[in-house]
Structure 1
Amino acid sequence: MAEQTVQGPDPRDGLVYDMSDDLRTAVEVALATDRPLLLSGDPGSGKSSLAPYHARRNGMRYYEHVITSRTRATDLLWTFDSVRRLADAQAHRGRLNDGDYVVPGALWWALAPESARSRGGLLSPAHHRDPSERFLHREERPSGAVVLIDEIDKADPDLPNSLLVPLASHEFTVGETGTLVRREADAGPPLIVITTNGERDLPQAFVRRCVTFTLPGPTHEGLVRIARLHLRHEKRKISDSVHELVVALADELMRARETAGLGHQRRPSTAEYLDALRACLTLGITPGDPRWLLLRSLTLAKPAEAGR
Structure 2
Amino acid sequence: MSTIQLSSILLNNDPINYVADEALVQAVEIAIALGKPLVVSGEPGTGKTQLAHFVASQLHQQTKNDFFPFAEKTLVYNTKSGSSASDLFYHYDAVGHFRNKEDKPASHFIELKALGLAICMAHGKQHPALKGISSLRQFDTFDEQPKSSVVLIDEIDKAPRDFPNDLLNEMENYEFDIRELNQSIRKPSGDARIVVIMTSNSEKNLPNAFLRRCVFYHIPFPDKEKLMTITRKRMAIGNNHYDRILNEAIDKFIEYRQQSINKKPATSEFLDWMNILKEFNLLHSNGSFGNYGSVPEQRKYESSLNVLFKNKEDIDRIINKTV
TM-score, normalised relative to structure 2: 0.78
Which residue is equivalent to 1:163? 167
Cα distance, 1:98 vs structure 2: 2.4
1:40 to 1:28, Cα distance in 2 relative to 1, 3 A: same
Describe how 1:17-56 pairs up with structure 2 within 5 A. 17-56=18-57
For residues 254-278 of structure 1, give each alpha carbon's deviation from its aligned partner in whole angstroms, at most 9, with x where no partner exists.
1122223xx4x32211111101111
Which residue is equivalent to 2:282? 285
More displaced stretch, 98-107 vs 183-192:
183-192
Say whether 1:243 aligns with 2:255: no
| SS of residue in 1 equivalent to 2:81 | coil
1:183 to 1:284, Cα distance in 2 relative to 1, 3 A: same
Describe how 1:76-115 pairs up with structure 2 within 5 A. 76-88=88-100, 91-92=101-102, 96-113=104-121
Determine which structure has greater relative contact order: mean sequence separation of CA pairs < 8 Å that are 6+ residues apart, divided by chain length: 1
Gaps of 5+ in 2: 1-6, 61-69, 284-288, 316-323
1:153 to 1:268, Cα distance in 2 relative to 1, 3 A: same
Which residue is equivalent to 1:136? none
TM-score, normalised relative to structure 1: 0.82
Contact 2:110 2:136 (8 Å CA) reproduced: no
For residues 181-234 of structure 1, give each alpha carbon's deviation from its aligned partner in whole angstroms, at most 9, with x where no partner exists.
1113567111101001011221111111110000001211110010111133xx
1:302 to 1:97, Cα distance in 2 relative to 1, 3 A: closer
Say whether 1:274 aligns with 2:304: no
Cα distance, 1:48 vs structure 2: 0.2
Contact 2:175 2:187 (8 Å CA) reproduced: yes
Q: Would you say how many aligned residue pairs link Structure 1 and Structure 2?
A: 285
CA–CA distance in structure 2, aligned partners of residues 130 and 51 of structure 1: 22
CA–CA distance in structure 2, aligned partners of residues 68 and 209 of structure 1: 22
1:207 to 1:74, Cα distance in 2 relative to 1, 3 A: same
Describe how 1:96-245 pairs up with structure 2 within 5 A. 96-113=104-121, 121-124=132-135, 128=139, 130=141, 143-185=147-189, 188-232=192-236, 236=237, 238-245=238-245
| SS of residue in 2 equivalent to 1:35 | coil
Cα distance, 1:303 vs structure 2: 3.7
Contact 1:17 1:49 (8 Å CA) reproduced: yes
* Equivalent AA in structure 1 for residue 244 of structure 2: E
1:113 to 1:306, Cα distance in 2 relative to 1, 3 A: farther
Gaps of 5+ in 1: 134-139
For residues 28-53 of structure 1, give each alpha carbon's deviation from its aligned partner in whole angstroms, at most 9, with x where no partner exists.
01001111000000000000000011
Contact 1:145 1:187 (8 Å CA) reproduced: no
Cα distance, 1:114 vs structure 2: 6.9
Percent sequence identity is 28
1:156 to 1:305, Cα distance in 2 relative to 1, 3 A: farther
Contact 1:109 1:130 (8 Å CA) reproduced: no
Which residue is equivalent to 2:63? none
| SS of residue in 1 equivalent to 2:153 | strand
